[in-house]
Structure 1
Amino acid sequence: MDLGEYRRDYVKDGLSRKDLVADPMQQFSHWFAQALELSRNDAVSMPDPTAVVVATVGENGMPSQRTVLLKFYDTRGFVFYTNYGSRKAREIAGNPQTSLIFVWLEMERQVRVCGRATKVGVAESTKYILSRPKESQMSAWVSSQSKPLTSRQALLQKLDEMKRKIGEGKVPIPSFWGGFRVEPQEIEFWQGGSSRLHDRFQYVKKEGLWQPPVRLAP
């Protein structure tokens, strides 16, 4: 299928240096707040601004990506949760250098993050796990993430068995499930531009300090 003629122009907004603040995490907060606000607008189709693609690299050098949900962020970095036996977790254990990308097409924006991923503390993971709906907590137990599965029915049967076993009781905290925090060393803000002349600004951290943003060619 030739898609060479399938295109659209990006004309919603522009991005200049005067629009940016010195701290890229504050800049992210500004854009993220706008994305959240837009997602609550019933007239706009923007289902989940917390969705973020996580890219890791396997021991054979092959990169892999998957979409997860951002669950927390602050000046230390961006946090998502997973099974520590999953492919992404195994690859992070072998190579903690990780990349994230937020794509907000409705705003014609992207944010790209490069940094080092580390496990969050047990207390932080436990707090989040306990905030999840009970069935979601049980799902963490019944799914051996990234491993082969005979059928969906087998998975649902395991969930039903656990529901009967737990009853009205509390779901145990799994030691094999928790968070990763990606501590950014590089953050790029991308705003779509007319005639493919997009606006790109890159922040880089050196010796623990964020350097002034640099405009990149589109």
Structure 2
Amino acid sequence: MPDGDIALKLPTMRVAYEGGTLGESELLPTWHEQLQRWLDEAASQGLPDANAMVLATAGGDGMPSSRTVLAKGLDERGVVFFTNYTSAKSHDLLATRYASATFPWYGLQRQVTVRGTVEKVRSAETAAYWAQRPRGSQLGAWASPQSIVVSGRGTLESALANVERQFADAETIPVPPHWGGWRIQPETVEFWQGRADRMHDRLRFKNTRGGWKVERLGP
């Protein structure tokens, strides 16, 4: 199909959002309990990668970047994901100490956006998660020069083969020194539910000096 034909259809592409409502009385007492509820519902509905979130960062120069990562921890302290500490995202986080992450549950006409400061998780927390990872994923973390330009796929496969030989006799693989977790410590958490006529429900938990409060935002 010619590109022009695809572009002509973009203005007419729309979905009727009639999947649900979100009122203040429906919210659980805390943002993390409400987020856990929606995560559980997304998973129970069979949405693929229900814990996937689009992580947005900015470098010291203000240039924004976004990518999808998997949430691997959730409690009152924040939302945790794990990555290479030499990656582009980690460089951004070290430069600004801020991040935003959105869970896009299109199948439920919902999304949640978590926004706030970041901190590295403790090494014990990283080690506990690392022990649950498949061996292949552990090897990949050692082999991957994340965000670094490589000459081709062969370079990556060669690096993985070297790591496999290095740990061939190892029953357990240690955590790489350059790998670990980041925690987004929310200042705001917005719950969005699609509604008819684009009059969506937007309820935001906001951390204030007096504690958390809930605000309704215009759609």
Q: Under TM normalisation by the shorter chain, which class is it?
A: over 0.9
Runs of 4 or more consecutive aligned structure 1 residues displaced over 3 Å after TM superposition: none
The residue identity in structure 2 corresponding to 1:131 is: Q
1:215 is the counterpart of 2:216: yes
The residue identity in structure 2 corresponding to 1:157 is: S
**Aligned match of 1:22 in 26, 29, 33?**
29
**Aligned match of 2:202 in 195, 200, 203?**
200
TM-score, scaled to structure 1: 0.93
Aligned residues: 211
RMSD: 1.1
Query: C-alpha separation between the residues in 1 aligned to 2:27 and 2:64?
Result: 31
Gaps of 5+ in 1: 40-45
The residue identity in structure 2 corresponding to 1:69 is: L
Three-state SS of the structure 2 residue aligned to 1:115 is strand
The residue identity in structure 2 corresponding to 1:171 is: I
Gaps of 5+ in 2: 1-6
Q: 1:36: which partner in 2?
A: 43
Three-state SS of the structure 2 residue aligned to 1:68 is strand
The residue identity in structure 1 corresponding to 2:30 is: D
Query: C-alpha separation between the residues in 2 aligned to 1:48 and 1:135?
Result: 19
Query: C-alpha separation between the residues in 1 aligned to 2:125 and 2:153?
Result: 31
The residue identity in structure 2 corresponding to 1:202 is: R
Q: 2:18: which partner in 1?
A: 11
Query: C-alpha separation between the residues in 2 aligned to 1:22 and 1:130?
Result: 33
Query: C-alpha separation between the residues in 1 aligned to 2:57 and 2:162?
Result: 34
Three-state SS of the structure 1 residue aligned to 2:50 is coil
Q: Residue 35 of structure 1: CA displacement? A: 0.9
Q: 1:43: which partner in 2?
A: none
Query: C-alpha separation between the residues in 2 aligned to 1:85 and 1:143?
Result: 11
Three-state SS of the structure 2 residue aligned to 1:141 is helix
Percent identity at matched positions? 38
Q: Residue 22 of structure 1: CA displacement? A: 2.8
Q: Residue 21 of structure 1: CA displacement? A: 2.5
TM-score, scaled to structure 2: 0.93
Q: Residue 36 of structure 1: CA displacement? A: 1.4
Three-state SS of the structure 2 residue aligned to 1:167 is coil
The residue identity in structure 1 corresponding to 2:16 is: D
1:171 is the counterpart of 2:178: no
Query: C-alpha separation between the residues in 2 aligned to 1:24 and 1:71?
Result: 17
Q: 2:4: which partner in 1?
A: none
Q: Residue 47 of structure 1: CA displacement? A: 1.0
Query: C-alpha separation between the residues in 1 aligned to 2:80 and 2:11?
Result: 37
Three-state SS of the structure 1 residue aligned to 2:16 is coil
The residue identity in structure 2 corresponding to 1:55 is: A
The residue identity in structure 2 corresponding to 1:49 is: A
Q: 1:85: which partner in 2?
A: 86
Query: C-alpha separation between the residues in 1 aligned to 2:50 and 2:165?
Result: 35
Q: 1:182: which partner in 2?
A: 184
Q: Residue 173 of structure 1: CA displacement? A: 2.1
Worse-superposed segment, 152-161 or 184-193: 152-161
Q: 1:128: which partner in 2?
A: 129
Query: C-alpha separation between the residues in 1 aligned to 2:35 and 2:81?
Result: 16
Three-state SS of the structure 2 residue aligned to 1:25 is helix
